[in-house]
Amino acid sequence: MPEKCISLADIDEAISCDELDNLAGIVQQIIYGYWDEVEVWPEFPAPTADTPMTLDQAGKWDGNITMKEGKRAYRLVVTDGAGTLTITDQGEAGGESVRYQLDVERAKMSAVIFGFENATRGRRLFVLVQDKNGTTYLMGDKLNACKRVAADAATTGTAAESDVNKTPLRFQYDCARKLIYTGDPEALLTAAQSGNNG
pLDDT digits 0-9 by tens, 132-166? 999 999 999 999 999 999 999 999 988 887 788 99
Alpha carbon distance 109, 138 (integer Å): 27
> Confidence band (pLDDT; 50, 70, 90) for 118?
very high
- The closest of 24, 185, 186, 170 to 99, measured between CA atoms, is 170
Residue 136 CB: number of other CB atoms within 10 A?
A: 17
Strand-pair category, 97-107 with 125-131: unpaired
> Confidence band (pLDDT; 50, 70, 90) for 195?
low
